Structure 1
Amino acid sequence: MFTSFGRYILLLRLSFRKPEKFSVYWGEVMREMVSIGVGSLGIISIISVFIGAATTIQVAFQLNSPLVPGSVAGSIARDSTILEFSPTISALVLAGRVGSSIASQIGTMRVTEQIDALEIMGVNAPGYLIAPKIIGGLTMFPMLVIISICLGISGGYIACLASGDVSTVDYISGLRDGFLPLTIQVAIVKSIVFGFIITSICAYQGFYTTGGALEVGQSATRGVVYSCVMVLFADLVITRLML
């Protein structure tokens, strides 16, 4: 365990050494940002709208009482979406999409000896392959979470409009009542930490892949599982520290 952690830290140090040529690395960073951000926008949008709608309907069902104002459903749905559903569920989904892609891509390069070829040519392989992915994750994950929050709240509004369980006026009133900017800060911090965890752990699993195609699949699976577990653990820690 300690050996693996030491190799993980060493790999991160090698990844962020001074690059030989900034223009090449800049192009890789832009490519990863497009792959992570634009490539994940569709699945994040669909999940956010449906989760926001389902959350609002469930809250309205549980608070169906004449003693509870209808605006409470909007407040609870807003805080749940911002603090938990958008950052955490988005991270778990992105671990499956982005994390598995990173692990399998780097793992394939390892088993086909492409990484060895880069090192023979004097290229810092961790810096060239891993650093752009981590930077892309740190940049795009917060943007995806912000989009997820907006779409989740919009999904709740659509659910109110379609079902009539809560009036849209009460829902919007609940969104405005008692809003704390701290919740947005917590969501942004979570998204940055989650982005680093997913990209770095999956890159580590792929970089140290040995064997063939079967081991590449196993590395991708381990990367997704480990990153999901660490995302949930980090979610608990950040929530406890910031709230």
Structure 2
Amino acid sequence: MDEFQQQLRQQYQIFADRPSVQNKIQAVLDCLKWLTQKQLPTQPLPALTYSVKAILADPRLMPLDDLFSQLRQYLIVNFGIWSLPNQAFIHDLKTFIQGRPALEIMAGNALISAELQQQGQSIQTTDTLEWQDQDNQRPHPWCSVQALDALIAVQTIPASVIIMSWAPDTDKQDYQLLTWLRQENFQGDLIVIGEANGATNSAEFWQTAQLKKNKQLNQNYRSLDNIQEAVYLVQ
């Protein structure tokens, strides 16, 4: 067991008098165990961040809050995971797709595609698998991934649903493929998971995309921290 998980277990003992806090810690520990087995948690993690008011009321929460704030970076370094979907969200996504031809671009380690396939949805999955200037450069996809540039993928693979999750903010390919889809009068659904005008995607993409939060797709999707990520349909 590594130091991060050891610290979580120590915090679990510290909060023996607060079962609600222990439940959050246990949820994270369980999640890490499942990810090691290439399985997603069944439900979203509970809200992990604590308010200043809560920390002032119980200062023991300060080191735990700091530990929780490190979770995303821990997932990136150890699992190559930048955001954390869950099985309930994937079920919502499968229901939304309704069996239509689907394509995931910039799939990373392809958690979404792998879980969709397990739930019976066919999907083609693509990524260059050449992660530059990232904290994890050792891809370990959860399912078969075609080594394709995202723009080439949308131009060559027929799909009615395109999924783009946590596209990097270091290039403009997301803007280029959005421009191409509009030129081609794409009539399907482009699903984007990320933080609008924040940690994901290019500024040009957010300035151009007409976004709509889909209630069905957000009901079981949660952020790990204070990054305001959500699931959008791009008009």
Q: Which protein has the bigger strand share?
A: 2
Q: TM-score, normalised by structure 2?
A: 0.23
Q: TM-score, normalised by structure 1?
A: 0.22
Q: Which protein has the bigger helix share?
A: 1
Larger radius of gyration: 1
